[in-house]
Amino acid sequence: MKKIFLIGLMGSGKTYWAEKLKRKLKVAAYDLDNLVEIMEERTIEEIFTEEGEEYFRTEEARMLRLFKEKKEFILACGGGTPCFHDNMTWMNKTGITIWINEPVSVLAERLKTTKEHRPLISSLHDDELVPFLEKMLTQREVFYAKAAYQLGKEEITEQSFTKILKEHA
């Protein structure tokens, strides 16, 4: 039984790795933000604008808790998911948490092309991304550090994920 939660800052590749592991493990993969959008019938941007972040975080936590009943899955969590409603503690009790810890400079480059779809950075200029992400990492690191596993730049490989999952086979 595998219940895998991928966490990390926006742009760290959580959805990418969920899809890649899905094919390898033949397990369903989900993106928590996408599920909230489906449930709400509107985008994350619209939810933030119309209801605010607090409302979004409550709905995000509610959707997350629905995974308790699932037997096997890979869930790409939103960057802030571990930081609210005791989600990190809940995920650690429920399954395997893996922090994908890409360098901030790598994240900033990736996010330049998609920032208009991300409410927390949509209004930032490209040169503001690195300082913003550094500040965000400083705030969230205390939550991310509670993950059972952390994969840094050189360790973010299919082999590293496979090794972690073999330990829990």
In angstroms, the CA 11 to CA 93 distance is 26
Please write the tens of the pLDDT for every residue from 108-136. Answer: 999 999 888 888 899 999 999 999 999 99
Overall CATH class of domain 3-167: alpha beta
CA separation for the pair 101, 9 (Å, rounded)? 8
Q: Which helix (H) or strand (E) holds 40?
A: helix 32-40
Strand order in the sheet with 149-152: 29-31, 73-76, 3-7, 96-101, 149-152
pLDDT value of position 1 = 60
Write down the domain spans for the chain: 3-167
Q: What is the pTM of this model?
A: 0.95
Overall residue count recorded for the chain in this entry:
169
Per residue in 30-72, pLDDT tens? Answer: 999 999 999 999 999 999 999 999 999 999 999 999 999 999 9
Instruction: Give the residue among 125, 93, 94 at the shortest CA–CA distance from 111.
Output: 125
